[in-house]
Amino acid sequence: MEISDMGQGLIFVLGVMLPILIVRWINDVVRYKKKRLPPGTMGWPVIGQTFNFMKEGPDFMKNRRKLYGDLFKTHILGCPTVVCMDPDINKQILNSESKGFIPGYPQAMLDILGEWNTAAVHGAPHKAMRGVLLSLVSPPMIRDHLLPKIDAFMKSFLAGMGGEVVDIQAKTKEMALLSSLKQIASIEGGPLAQSLKTELYQLALGTLSLPINFPGSNYRRGLQARRRLVGMLREMIEERRASQISYNDMLDNLLNSDESTKLKLTDDQIIDLIITLIYSGYETMSTTSMMAIKYLHDHPRALLELRRENLEIRKGKPADYTINYNDYKSMIFTRAVVYETLRMATVVNGLLRKLTQDVELKGFVIPKGWRIYVYTREINYNPETYSRSLQFNPWRWLENNLESHQHFMLFGSGTRLCPGKEVGTVEICTFLHYMVTRYWWKEVGKNNIMKFPRVQAPNGLHFKLTEYEQFE
Question: Can you give the binding site for ligand HEM, defined by CB under 6 A?
Answer: 103, 118-119, 130, 133, 137, 276-277, 280-281, 284-285, 288, 342, 347-348, 351, 410-412, 416, 418-420, 423-424
Question: Does 418 belong to an annotated binding site?
Answer: yes
Say if CB 375 and CB 85 are below 8 A apart.
Answer: yes
- Residues ≥6 apart with Cβ < 8 Å to 157: 175, 178, 179
Q: Are strands 71-76 and 371-375 parallel, antiparallel or unpaired?
A: unpaired
CA 360/CA 269 separation, integer angstroms: 35
How many other C-beta atoms lie within 10 A of the C-beta of residue 373?
A: 23
Q: How far is the CB of 225 from ligand HEM (least distance, A)?
A: 19
Q: 402 vs 114, 332, 380, 395, CA distance in Å?
A: 36, 13, 11, 11
| Closest among 100, 470, 84 to 308, alpha carbons compared | 470
C-beta nearest to ligand HEM: residue: 420
Q: Phi then psi for 65, rounded to 5 degrees? A: -60, -40
Q: In the complex with ligand HEM, which residue's Cβ is closer, 9 or 103? A: 103
- Supply the minimum distance, in Å, between the C-beta of residue 7 and ligand HEM: 38
DSSP state string for 302-366: HHHHHHHHHHHHHTT--TT----HHHHHT-HHHHHHHHHHHHHHTS--EEEEEESS-EEETTEEE
Q: Which is nearer to ligand HEM, 29 or 263 (CB)?
A: 263
If the CB atoms of residues 74 and 284 are measured against ligand HEM, the closer one turns out to be 284
Residue 120: CB minimum distance to ligand HEM, A: 9
Q: How far is the CB of 153 from ligand HEM (least distance, A)?
A: 14
CB of 129 to ligand HEM, least distance (A): 8
Question: Alpha-carbon distance 276 to 280, whole Å?
Answer: 6
Asked, as a colleague might, if the bond just before 453 is cis with ω within 30 of 0, I would say: yes
- Nearer to ligand HEM (CB atom), residue 25 or residue 101: 101
Q: How far is the CB of 296 from ligand HEM (least distance, A)?
A: 16
- Contact between 456 and 345 (Cβ < 8 Å): no
Q: How far is the CB of 34 from ligand HEM (least distance, A)?
A: 31
User: Cβ of residue 183: shortest distance to ligand HEM, in angstroms?
Assistant: 8
User: Quick one: which of 104, 107, 114, 146 has its CA closest to 273?
Assistant: 114
The residue among 217 and 284 lying less far from ligand HEM, judged by its C-beta, is: 284
Cα dihedral 253→258→263→267 (10° resolution): 60
Closer by beta carbon to ligand HEM, 162 or else 412: 412
For ligand HEM, give the closer residue by CB, 225 or 278: 278
Q: Which CB atom, from 132 or from 457, has the smaller least distance to ligand HEM?
A: 132
Q: Are 316 and 414 within 8 A, CB to CB?
A: no
Report the binding-site residues: 418
Report the binding-site residues for heme: 418
